Structures are given as structure tokens and as C-alpha cells.
Amino acid sequence: MNDIFTIANSDAGISNDEIAEKLAAALAAWEAEKGAVRNCLIIPPDFTRFHSNAGFITQVFYRLLTAKGAAVDILPALGTHVPVSETQWKTMFGEIPYDRMLVHNWRTDVVKLGEVPADEVERLSEGLWKDPVAVEVNRRFMDEKYDLIVSPGQVVPHEVIGMANHAKNIFVGIGGSSMINCSHMIGAVCGMEKAMGRDHTPVRQLFDYACEHFIAKRPVLWVLTVNTAPGGKIRSHGLFIGQGRNCLTEAVKLAQDKNIDYVETGIKKCVVYLDESEFTSTWLGNKAVYRTRMAMADGGELIILAPAVHQFGEDPTNDKLIRKYGYKGRLHTLELFNDPANVDMKENMGAVAHLIHGSSDGRFSIRYCVKKITRKEIEDAGFLSGDYDEYASKYDPKKLKYGYNEVDGEQVYFIPNPALGLWINREKFK
């Protein structure tokens, strides 16, 4: 089937009725060409990507397919995240029964399809990474019973790949430890500033290679959105549906317009709020660091209001590693990584990359204001600490407006949700 594009650049965006109509047309076109769907696997993002509108898209496909008598399984693209809770499921996926959820285990529940050869990895990383990368996916993805695999999700700036989604939903979302670890380390050593907000980055090229060589024959239908969330409400500006890469290429162009905000000069003080329902760990909450680092002024201060953050990693292994080594700079972390004695770092490269991404390398300060982790734990991890109630009283997230505010005679830039955009100092961006 040909790629189908629906794009609305207006502030009003696309209505859910319009989206549902286009999804029905895409399914009809698929079945007209390939025959009736009998078994479908849908791979939506998890609750941490609630604003992708993938929950609604999943519900539409579920209704359309089950009405025809097809069997539908839902495999959330967890990556290294914790499974979706029943409460989160109901909020995101509505009417779909919770028992339709399959849980991905990135350490054990995968099959190896092959590997991206060392010479290709060295080429795309410009010589910074010289080892081959194993390509692993959840075993269900390769199950021949599925005659349709739907992969919905949001194209939005991302610290590792440049722009999230498409093949990332497969190779990281339901991928294995080798691909997750290596891709994150490649992104880290190549540098976030060279990737964020861009297409054709080293990690995106890694996924493009794996997509072309290992899963091109799988019946995957990509359903990509470009969204914003003014006032916390999802607003869809673009819907891109197709089998190839073209739908991603077009989505990236729109996301660069809708999800990148430029500031005219470096931000001296930035306050970021992490919503309680979405951010419960620094593993997730460090989007406040990733997405603002290109906008922060040298010597600036980043204040993160994190009322629900109660842990560092999303699983015990990563949590332990973060507590042990901390967010203490790229060069320091790479020095530790290259020490043969630190075997735990070699076995958890994704976490090592996360440590690099979560540090400002001393260029600006990062103050985590929490309620559920001790001051010592925060400071041992390499951050400054702050009492949540004290800082939230001064920088009240319910009163501050998005963008610049004046607080006690001081200019403060406020971001209510760091996951939905990328902020860049126009003076330094090329």
C-alpha cells in the first residue's frame, strides 16, 4: 500500500474523528491489498508517552479489527521501563481489556535476527564505535501468525536518536539488551548536541540499517503522530501512515516545526515541572536535562520540580548502577567505563549512556527538588538537592506560565512538560 499522509499545521490540529476516519481508510487499503486481517499485534508506546495519542489510535484499531473477528494482542513498547499499571492502562487504552496486554522483558524475551556489522557501525559513528551491534526483538514480533503489526507513536525530539519513533519503537521499545545498550552508548559518545531534533543521526542510521536488512518483510504499518499538549491536552498536528520510511521523513519535518522552541539567548534560570502521573524516576525525569541543555546558558541553573520521583533507575539493576556511579560528567563516566574492573558498566551500557546524558558536564547546575528521595541520595548521585515544598512555593507550577516569567525580580523560564519538545539557544545552534 502507498504511504498515506494527513497533515494539519493549524493551531487547531486534527480531530480524533478525522484520525479515526483515516485509520479506517488505511486498514481498508491494507486488507484490499493483502487480504483480511486475522491476527494483529499492536505495539504502542507505554504510559510515559501518553501524549503521543497512541492510546486512542490503539483503541480505534482494536475496535475495527475485533468487529471483524480478528484477534488483537497489545505489546507496549516498554524498552527498559516498568510495565503499564492497570490504572495507567485504563487512562491510556480505555475500553481495551487489561488482559490483552503482553509484557516485554528486554533482558530475556527476545530473539536475535543478526547484527549490524562493525564496519557499518564504524562508518555511521565516524569511527567512535567499532563493534558490531546485535539486532534483537521480542519473539512475538517474528510470529508468523500475525498478518498485521501496527506500530503507533509520536515523532518528537529525542536525546539518543534525534527524533523518536518509527524503527526505534521496535529495536528499543521491544528490543533486547544489546541493541538498547549499544545504541544508547553510540548516541552518548557521538554527542547529544549533534543528534537532538535531527534526522539521519548515527543511531537513526543504525536503526534504518536494521530495519532494511532484518524486518523489511514483516507486515508492519507505521502510524506516526506529531503532537503538542497545550494545557496538558493532546493536540495532534500531523498523522503519517505507511509501510516505508517516507512517513517518518515527513513526520520529522513537521515535528521540527512543532516541537522545537528556540530562545534568543541562553537561559540563566530554568524551572521544569515533572508531572506526578508521568515521572517517577530520574531515568525518566532527566528529560528535563536532555531537552533543555542546548538552551541553558553557561553557569545557568536548572531547577527540576519532581514531586513523584522516588527512584533513580526504572529497574533494580539500573537503579543500583546509577546510585553507585552517579551523573558526574561524560569524560569521568567514560573513564570509569573503560576501566576493566567496572564489569557492571560493560553489562549495562544503556545505563552508562544515561549517566552521560543526565549530566551537564559542569556547564550549568542541576537541582532536583523531590519529596520521596533523601537529600544525601540526590547529592551522592551528582545533583544539587532542594526541598520540593520550598521551591514549589517560590516557583509555583500552577501559577507560572510557559516561557519567561518574573519571580521576585528574576527572569525564570518555565517548562511544564519536558517530554514534548526541545529547547535550543538560537545563538549557538547551527
What percent of the chain is modeled with pLDDT above 90?
85
* Residue 205: band (very low, low, confident or very high) from pLDDT cuts 50, 70, 90: very high
The C-alpha angle with vertex 12 and arms to 11 and 16, in degrees rounded to 5, equals 135
pLDDT score for 80: 82
C-alpha cell at 243: 509501510
* Residue 420: band (very low, low, confident or very high) from pLDDT cuts 50, 70, 90: confident
C-alpha cell at 184: 544508547
Question: Domains, the chain, ranges and CATH?
Answer: 4-258 (3.40.50.11440), 262-425 (3.90.226.30)
pLDDT for residue 350 is more than 90: no
pLDDT score for 227: 94
Place of cell 517548562: 415
Mean pLDDT of the region 116-122: 97
Q: Is 249:204 a contact under the CB 8 Å cutoff?
A: no
* Residue 6: band (very low, low, confident or very high) from pLDDT cuts 50, 70, 90: confident
| Residues constituting the chain | 430
Q: State the average pLDDT for the chain.
A: 94
* Residue 252: band (very low, low, confident or very high) from pLDDT cuts 50, 70, 90: very high
- β-pairing, 267-273 vs 260-263, is unpaired
pLDDT for residue 144 is more than 90: yes
pTM value surpassing 0.75: yes
- Report the C-alpha gap between 201 and 290 in whole angstroms: 16
pLDDT for residue 430 is more than 70: no
Taking only the tens place, the pLDDT of each residue in 271-291 is 999 999 889 999 999 999 999
Mean pLDDT of the region 174-180: 93
Mean pLDDT of the region 155-181: 94
Q: Is 116:133 a contact under the CB 8 Å cutoff?
A: yes
Beta strands in 343-419 (DSSP E): 365-370, 384-387, 403-407, 410-415
Please give the distance of CA 191 from its chain centroid, rounded to a whole number: 17
Give the other-Cβ count within 10 Å of 162's Cβ. 24
Direct distance between the N- and C-terminal alpha carbons of the chain, in angstroms, rounded to an integer: 37
Q: Among 336, 381, 384, 328, which residue's Cα sits nearest to residue 356? A: 328
Mean pLDDT lowest among 33-37, 43-47, 105-109, 245-249: 105-109
- Per DSSP, 234 falls in state -
* Residue 159: band (very low, low, confident or very high) from pLDDT cuts 50, 70, 90: confident
Taking only the tens place, the pLDDT of each residue in 48-92 is 888 899 999 999 999 999 999 999 999 999 988 889 999 999 999
